[in-house]
Amino acid sequence: MPYPKPTRRSWAEPWKVKMVEPIRMTTRPQRERCIVEAGYNTFLLRSEDVYIDLLTDSGTNAMSDNQWAGMMLGDEAYAGSRNFYHLWEAVTEYYGYKYLVPTHQGRGAEHILSKIMIKPGDFVPGNRYFTTTRLHQELAGGTFVDVIIDEAHDPANEHPFKGNVDFGKLQRLIDEVGAKKIPYVSVAGTVNMAGGQPQSMANLRALRELCSRHGIPIVLDATRAIENAYFIQQREEGYRNKKVAEILKEYCSYADSSTMSAKKDTLTNIGGWLATNDQGLFEEARNMVVVYEGLHTYGGLAGRDMEAMARGIVESVDDDHMRARIGQVEYLGQHLIDWAIPIVRPIGGHAVFLDARAIYAHIPQSQYPAQALAADLYIDSGVRSMERGAVSAGRDPKTGEERFPKLELVRLTLPRRVYTQAHTDVAAESVLAVYEQREQARGLKMVYEPKYLRFFQARFEQI
Ligand SMILES: *Cc1c(COP(=O)(O)O)cnc(C)c1O
């Protein structure tokens, strides 16, 4: 078949491949065996049995030659590693915070921050929950309150900033419980659980004003703040000619502190940090990190990992990198939109989210349609995705009832700088094949349920 003449000029990634990692191609009968052994949970598959791994963008990034070179310059001194100071400088330069406490990954920072800031009986409002963030808030005695705009719960709504905070909802909470019971407002840049949707600069700036009036600090989950900054550049009035790096710094300036999973935006395989402008919080966090993570100049990381993070930050704010990164996600999403497959709109920053509730409309939410769809995709092609629906939402800690969220999604997450356009085509075509067979799909029943973050280890059987 002749190739049609292009109707646009293509862009390509600002890197080339220097080293390859072979991946195994499996047969359908092999995959059918594997998914049964894994209890229909893609988290329980062996990586070896996966062809294209779109489970997560967490720690799955490909590092650059410059980052690998940095790995060889690890200063593995127990205290005062040179790499820690590089990292601190990079965080201050690009994110703007004065003080830094490294942690082994994002949840290490969330744990410490929640323990310091939250008292039992407190309420923590946020632009939708994230699994580990909310769990640490709850373990510290807090109650998470969702204050994201309603549009975020509607997968078809095309709002450009579905990560925005609804000030009406936040004000009602302040009026109801009082500002003293709100230790901070928890905001995330590109909201993972809403489909990778960004928050606008105007929204965070206005939140800053509202919170300042009530004396409530803002804590930013900066895990994907750089992707958020790219969306601001693309979609918000007045930012078109600004660099991603400049936008990131302004965005972070409206938050008092940040927690970070460096395994996402900043192109590493491990790492995290807590950064703040609040000296008192810094002193406490620096003290607590030695209990749970490691000394305050390594926080559970090797010196080489901190060096890779420092170099990764510089690479991740590059405009061409961000364009290629989010461009690849758009490429996958646009195929599915063109084929009329229901996905969360607009296309997210790190992932394409399939609307499993719409695709498997005949499977009730109590039979976990998103979990079933992720399993079916794996069986079809060896593409690994993840459930983001009722299984991830878990149970209400007070009533023990299952939480059935409006969004019942399957996430196809693109690791940064890992897969080619051909891999992306294979994934898109597999989604189409499963979509076309949707009427034959069956629901699941949970046969093993762990107490915490059940989606990681739960097991299922086909009904
Ligand atoms: C991954 C993630 C975290 C937790 O970070 P880990 O490094 O996995 O511990 C927190 N917030 C968001 C938005 C995330 O995506």
CA of 261 to the centre of ligand 1 (A): 5
CA of 223 to the centre of ligand 1 (A): 6
Helix locations, 189-267, DSSP H: 201-214, 225-235, 244-253
What single letter denotes the amino acid at residue 260?
M
What is the arrangement of strands in the sheet containing 272-276, beginning at the earlier edge strand? 99-103, 272-276, 257-261, 218-221, 185-188, 123-126, 143-146
Q: What fold characterizes domain 28-57+319-462?
A: Aspartate Aminotransferase, domain 1 (3.90.1150)
**CB–CB of 184/216 below 8 Å?**
yes
- Is 261's C-beta closer than 6 angstroms to any atom of ligand 1? yes
CA 31, CA 376: separation in Å to the nearest integer? 10
- Is 316's C-beta closer than 6 angstroms to any atom of ligand 1? no
Q: Is 97 helix (H, G, I), strand (E, B) or coil?
A: coil
CA of 135 to the centre of ligand 1 (A): 12
CA of 264 to the centre of ligand 1 (A): 8
- Is 99's C-beta closer than 6 angstroms to any atom of ligand 1? no
Instruction: Tokens for 110, please give them.
Output: 């969330």
CA 7, CA 4: separation in Å to the nearest integer? 9
Report the atom number in ligand 1 closest to the C-alpha of 107.
9
Mutation to probe ligand 1, out of 43, 57, 114, 130 (largest number of atoms < 8 A from CB): 130
Catalytic positions, written as ranges: 78, 130-131, 221, 264, 388, 455
- In what helix (H) or strand (E) does residue 52 lie, and over which residues does it extend? strand 52-53
Q: Is 74 helix (H, G, I), strand (E, B) or coil?
A: coil
Shared fold status for 28-57+319-462 and 65-316: no
Q: Which of 49, 43, 55 is nearest to 413 (CA)?
A: 55
Q: What is the pLDDT along the chain (463 residues), one digit of tens a residue?
A: 788 898 888 889 999 999 999 999 999 999 999 999 999 999 999 999 999 999 999 999 999 999 999 999 999 999 999 999 999 999 999 999 999 999 999 999 999 999 999 999 999 999 999 989 999 999 999 999 999 999 999 999 999 999 999 999 999 999 999 999 999 999 999 998 888 999 999 999 999 999 999 999 999 999 999 999 999 999 999 999 999 999 999 999 999 999 999 999 999 999 999 999 999 999 999 999 999 999 999 999 999 999 999 999 999 999 999 999 999 999 999 999 999 999 999 999 999 999 999 999 999 999 999 999 999 999 999 999 999 999 999 999 889 999 999 999 999 999 999 999 999 999 999 999 999 999 999 999 999 999 989 999 999 999 9
Q: Is 414 helix (H, G, I), strand (E, B) or coil?
A: coil
Are β-strands 143-146 and 123-126 bridged in parallel, bridged antiparallel, or unpaired? Answer: parallel
Residue spans of the domains in the chain: they are 28-57+319-462, 65-316
Residue 370 backbone dihedrals phi, psi, to 5 degrees = -70, -40
What single letter denotes the amino acid at residue 428?
A
Q: Whose CA is nearest to atom 4 of ligand 1?
A: 106
DSSP string, 321-370: HHHHHHHHHHHHHHHHHHTT--B-SS--SSEEEEEHHHHTTTS-GGG-HH
Q: What fold characterizes domain 65-316?
A: Aspartate Aminotransferase; domain 2 (3.40.640)
CA of 58 to the centre of ligand 1 (A): 8
With both helix axes pointing from N to C terminus, report the angle between 244-253 and 82-94 in degrees, rounded to the nearest 10.
90
CA 256, CA 265: separation in Å to the nearest integer? 20
- Is 189's C-beta closer than 6 angstroms to any atom of ligand 1? no
The pTM of this model reads: 0.94
- Is 196's C-beta closer than 6 angstroms to any atom of ligand 1? no
